[in-house]
Chain A
Amino acid sequence: MNFHHPIARAAVLVVLLLVTTTLVAHHSGVEFDNTKVVELNGTIKEFQFKNPHTWIQVLVPDGKGGNVEWSLEWGSPNTLGRDGYRPSTFPPGAKVTVRLNPMRNGAPAGMFLGAKFQDGKTVGRWE
């Protein structure tokens, strides 16, 4: 999905110009635009709780009856594990709203910032 696509624009909200602290230790993270925050609604497909970084795979409706799979990079499983997160933090099938710093080139990926589940539970930095 491209940010210039009308459906994508409907699904994507550029919220604020925020400078965020990268959680990326293994690589520079320069591919992400940390001045932009994007919000998406979707369904958890998979939480890859593996080194060197975790990835949250989220299926986001494309408005045509299908989905676009977004890849959200987060911290290392080691650091997140020490902070109390687990592979079960993002159960497959859960409906979720996520916020991220998007890829600079508009590809469906970004640096994960926070998430809110339907029951109001939040993960990461949300407020």
Chain B
Amino acid sequence: MKSKAIVLVFLPFMLCLSSTPSFGQAPASTAAAKLPDWSGVWSMVGGTVFDRATQTGQGGSITPGVREHPPYNPQWEAIYAKNLELRDKGLFPDVQTNCGVPAGFPRILNLPDPYEFVIRPEQVWILTENGPNVMRIYTDGRKHLEDQWETYTGDSVGHWENDTLVFTTVALKGSRDGDSILDRTGLVLSDKAHATTRIRRIDDTTIETQMTIEDPKAMTKPWVVTKQFRKMPAGTRLYDYGCAENNRNPVDEKSGKTLTLGPDGKPLN
């Protein structure tokens, strides 16, 4: 009888405690409510010249004479010059054309076709139809691994500064294995590159990303590149991007030439 009375007295407090989150663990719904709204489908503004702010020459990334001016050191400027020379001859291979490898960072922010930016309290996902590619940015307080191995997209951890996502990306393989570029002019980074990126929605229809890329092996100072993404009409759908489904334009690995396959599967060029 006595124990039943104690339970009745403390029941309201027990119920109250059970519905209150423990300290330091705001419920996901509350945390999410404070995060910005980047819902919908987005499309990169401009062509796929990675750094349009330093572009010289008129045209797109495959147009002879078009180039960008990252703060390369002489050795990496020479590598870029060689790539540009091949590009001018139509012989700079884009590994994406053969399907199968991720675009990687920072090229994942330089792709045609639609984007989605998915915000969860513990992660942000950048999803691209082209590829498809996914970039995970951990915002749950974790740190980069001390012994993280290099990959195409690297490892990204970040945090929110009001409505701005700020994250660092490390462990990028860059052009080490010859299968990761930034654009078709032939821009490349080394396996020592890392970056700090800030993303925010600057108005109703625009998301802006600003990457500060540092590469002590290839560049003499930080390289800041800004890309914008415009909101597409409500209801826009995304689809499979099965690159290997009917790829009639593989790259001939010996010559670097992009082939065009006829209906019988044999090269026309």
Give A66-87 interface residues, CB cut-off 8 Å to B: 69, 71, 73, 76-79, 81-82
Q: Is the CB of A81 within 8 A of B249?
A: no
Q: How large is the interface on B (under 10, 10 to 19, 20 to 34, 35 or more residues)?
A: 20 to 34
- A30, A48, A76, A103 pick with most chain B CB within 10 angstroms: A30
Given A27-B94, A82-B236, A108-B268 contact (CB < 8 Å): yes
Q: Mark B65-105, 1 if CB is under 8 A from A, else 0.
A: 00000000000000000000000001000101101000000
Alpha-carbon distance between A48 and B265 when the two chains are bound, in angstroms: 14
Which one of B10-18, B196-204, B238-246 is at the interface? Answer: B238-246
CB distance from B89 to the nearest CB of A (A): 9
Contacts of A53 in B (CB 8 A): 246, 248-249
Q: Is the CB of B184 within 8 A of A28?
A: yes
Give B227-269 interface residues, CB cut-off 8 Å to A: 236-243, 245-249, 251, 258, 260, 262-263, 268-269
- A22, A48, A78, A107 pick with most chain B CB within 10 angstroms: A78
Contacts of A78 in B (CB 8 A): 113, 129, 238-241
Alpha-carbon distance between A91 and B35 when the two chains are bound, in angstroms: 48
Interface status of B121 (Cβ within 8 A of chain A): no
CB distance from B66 to the nearest CB of A (A): 12
Interface status of A29 (Cβ within 8 A of chain B): yes
Q: Is the CB of B260 within 8 A of A51?
A: no
Q: Is the CB of B236 within 8 A of A103?
A: no
Alpha-carbon distance between A51 and B220 when the two chains are bound, in angstroms: 40
Contacts of B248 in A (CB 8 A): 53, 55, 71, 73
- A22, A31, A69 pick with most chain B CB within 10 angstroms: A31
Q: Is the CB of A103 within 8 A of B269?
A: yes
CB distance from B79 to the nearest CB of A (A): 19
Contacts of A104 in B (CB 8 A): 269
CB distance from A69 to the nearest CB of B (A): 6
Can you give 21 contacting A-B residue pairs, CB < 8 Å?
A: A26-B249, A27-B97, A28-B90, A30-B258, A51-B240, A51-B245, A51-B246, A52-B99, A53-B248, A55-B246, A57-B263, A71-B248, A71-B260, A71-B262, A71-B268, A76-B113, A78-B238, A78-B240, A103-B260, A105-B269, A109-B268
Question: B-contacting residues of A (Cβ < 8 Å)?
Answer: 22, 25-31, 48, 50-53, 55, 57, 69, 71, 73, 76-79, 81-82, 103-105, 107-109
Question: A-contacting residues of B (Cβ < 8 Å)?
Answer: 60, 62, 90, 94, 96-97, 99, 112-113, 129-130, 184, 236-243, 245-249, 251, 258, 260, 262-263, 268-269
9 nearest CB pairs, A to B: A107-B268, A50-B246, A30-B90, A25-B112, A78-B239, A27-B249, A27-B97, A28-B62, A51-B242
